[in-house]
Amino acid sequence: MTFLDSLSPTDRATVQSYFQPVSFPKDACIMEVGEPGNGCYFIDSGEVRLELTSTETDSDSVLGYLKPGDFLGEFSLCDGQPRSASAFAESAVSARWFSTEDFNSLCAAHPATGLAISRALAGSLSGKMREMNRRLSEYIFADEIDAATDSLIARASNAQRDFAHWPEDKVDALIGDVAQAFADQAAEFAQATVDETKMGNTADKTAKNRFSALEVARSLQGKSAGGLLTSEAAQGRVDTFAAPAGVVLGLIPVTNPVATIVFKTLVCLKARNALVLSVHRSAQNVGARSAELIQTCLRKHGAPSDLVLPIKARSSRRTTAMFMKHPGVALILATGGPSMVKAAYSSGTPAIGVGAGNAPCWIAPDADTAKAAAQVVGSKSFDCGVICGSENNLVVDTSVRAAFIAALETNGAAVLAPDEKRRFCAHVFDPADGHLRKEIIGRPAAETAAACGIKRAFPIRLVVIPAVREELAGPLAAEKLAPMISLFTVSGDDEAISVCRAILTKCGKGHTAALHTASEERAHRFAREIEASRLLVNAGAAQGCIGFGTGLTPSFTLGCGFHGGNSTSDNVTFSHLVNYQRLAWGV
């Protein structure tokens, strides 16, 4: 029963005469945080999603959902203050708009009806405040876990116990089939991901999906991950055994959902763990399809299908928190926004998390500028720049700047003139907080450039934004998950290293840094003075950081070490997901 149903026929007719019918397609923004509060909506059909403002692409900012019969925006109707949250059409929505001006006119002309509406608004506000208090009490005072969460973890735990002692050859055969199944459907999953997330491009996601399947599986085959690993007798005999962690909770980002699901599945299965998948809300369909394919492979090999389970409940911060705190979860493998990683570390459950990327890329005086430019453009434009380890900031020695810029343009980079820079930055960065606008993330460079009136005689693959030292404190020196990159000019090695350190101090400390040079001595100095876990020399960072074209362990979870507030600086693999037990014999 809605408030309209509680009114007399006369009052109902009066109210409806002031309502203005409106409709919104799925995913439309109905109202935005900070907008003037000049009225409210009464929802007739569809569902509305409420979100807080978040600058993090991979963190869940959903507050809750409204259904037919609910008011939307009545806080501002009552107090006249700006909107405190954004609202999006979760499905197609039909509603009726009730402006503040019309509300005041109705109250003046029909006081009794105005009083009835005021009571209905007060009831709506009271109900929302009570719900808010209930949720707050759950976060502060209780670790309440619902029955559905308990059931899913119990299923995963039972499956893991049945799988814990599988022999290595059977595990490797299973891993190989899972990898091949995803490799065979890499293009289909890539297209589905682009369609659902509106990020990246199909060709690059196909390559990424194949790499996460075949190369990760290849790195695991033949390795020992269970039972007796070694027996050493240097000073006294020590036998080392590997035992599974148990149930792993895998947080899956919207930027690389399928590749991350495949990677986490393969390393968890290699370590004889079960995996519960918490997929970002904007990639849940492709996440569910991925889980179904994995479960088909599990059944084919006689393994429990509950070894890999997606969380089917609609994602929210509360849902994720329940799984993080569940005593049946042994480890959280967190790939996502900084706030989600922080929540994982704060949950009380052991966690391996990763930090933000913001790789500086130093083009030294002895760099092969043609090769470096080709690698930078190929890397930062790959999948529209959504790999967190890709180059975000060029640090170019003045002695090679002209040659390097010419090489960038040869490879499809648009290096902006001052007027173009002003237009471009005004379009892509939010003036309120300086962060990259969400609608720009993972979109093609040509699309964003065209929106700013930036044209070239060649197809634009990457936008390069010249910057000065004073802009190190601003958005140009921050992480940009899009095919755009800043360019700082320096003179000499000391200044180059100083700028690289300043970039990582702002964002991305401990993650990745790149250098193009012919000098091993310069590379070693770079390693000594730059606080990054992956230091790539003469390689594209987007591919190199995950182990493609470098000797690094193939991985889609990249630790940032103590510099980045993480528990490991490694490219995470199966060996991070086992307990090492040591049987020590008396001498």
- Strand, helix or coil at 495? helix
Q: DSSP characters for 563-583?
A: GGT-S--SB--GGGGEEEEEE
For residue 242, what are the CA distances in angstroms to 112, 165, 265, 364, 559? 75, 11, 18, 45, 22
Question: What does the pLDDT read at residue 395?
Answer: 98
Confirm whether 388 is a catalytic residue: yes
For residue 473, what are the CA distances in angstroms to 263, 368, 436? 35, 30, 15
The answer to whether domain 9-141 has CATH 2.40.30.10 is no
Question: What does the pLDDT read at residue 220?
Answer: 97
Q: Which tokens in the block code for residue 467?
A: 């910057």
**H or E stretch at 413:** strand 413-415
List per-block mean pLDDT (blocks of 10 residues) for the chain, which spans 587 residues.
Answer: 70 82 92 84 90 64 82 76 86 90 84 76 66 54 74 97 96 98 97 95 96 97 91 86 96 93 98 96 93 98 97 76 92 84 86 90 98 98 94 98 98 98 95 88 96 97 97 95 97 98 95 98 98 97 94 94 90 95 89
Alpha-carbon distance of 12 to 578, in angstroms, equals 65
Question: Taking the CA of residue 538 as centre, how many other CA atoms within 13 Å lie in the half-sphere pointing to its CB?
Answer: 12
Cβ atoms of 539 and 551 closer than 8 Å: no
Cα 36–chain centre separation: 30
Report DSSP state, residue 212. I
Domain boundaries, the chain: 9-141, 147-354+574-584, 359-558
Alpha-carbon distance of 31 to 68, in angstroms, equals 17
Helices assigned H by DSSP within 80-110: 100-109
Question: What does the pLDDT read at residue 567?
Answer: 86
- Strand, helix or coil at 347? coil
Question: Taking the CA of residue 563 as centre, how many other CA atoms within 13 Å lie in the half-sphere pointing to its CB?
Answer: 22
What topology is assigned to 147-354+574-584 in CATH? Aldehyde Dehydrogenase; Chain A, domain 1 (3.40.605)
Catalytic site residue from 361, 388, 500, 545: 388
Cβ atoms of 321 and 343 closer than 8 Å: yes
Cβ atoms of 182 and 302 closer than 8 Å: no
Q: Which tokens in the block code for residue 147?
A: 């029955």
Cβ atoms of 89 and 30 closer than 8 Å: yes
Q: Which tokens in the block code for residue 212?
A: 């996460």
Among 549, 544, 575, smallest CA distance to 357 is for 544
Return the ∠ at Cα 192 (arms to 189 and 197), rounded to 5°: 120
Question: What does the pLDDT read at residue 34?
Answer: 82
Cβ atoms of 190 and 258 closer than 8 Å: yes
- Strand, helix or coil at 318? helix
Q: DSSP characters for 241-285?
A: EEEE--EEEEEE-SSSHHHHHHHHHHHHHHTT-EEEEEE-GGGHH
For residue 575, what are the CA distances in angstroms to 229, 553, 570? 12, 11, 11
The whole-model pTM stands at 0.84
Alpha-carbon distance of 237 to 349, in angstroms, equals 33
The answer to whether domain 359-558 has CATH 3.40.309.10 is yes
Cβ atoms of 398 and 489 closer than 8 Å: yes
Alpha-carbon distance of 157 to 307, in angstroms, equals 8
> Each residue of 246-263: pLDDT tens digit?
999 999 999 999 999 999
Distance, first Cα to last Cα, the chain:
79
Query: Which residue bears the tokens 């197809």?
Result: 459
Alpha-carbon distance of 509 to 560, in angstroms, equals 7
Alpha-carbon distance of 527 to 445, in angstroms, equals 32
Question: What does the pLDDT read at residue 142?
Answer: 43
- Strand, helix or coil at 303? coil
> Each residue of 88-121: pLDDT tens digit?
999 999 999 888 888 888 888 888 777 777 777 7
- Strand, helix or coil at 209? helix
**H or E stretch at 182:** helix 168-184
Number of H helices, E strands in the chain: 20, 23
130 residue type, one letter: R
130 Cβ contact partners less than 8 Å away, ≥ 6 residues apart: none
For residue 344, what are the CA distances in angstroms to 322, 339, 340, 543? 11, 9, 6, 27
Q: Classify residue 517 by burial, with Cβ atoms within 10 Å: 0-12, 13-18, 19+.
A: buried
Find the radius of gyration of the CA atoms of the chain.
27
Strands of 25-168 (E only): list them.
Answer: 29-31, 39-45, 48-51, 62-66, 71-72, 86-89, 93-99
Question: What does the pLDDT read at residue 141?
Answer: 40
Query: Which residue bears the tokens 């350190």?
Result: 501
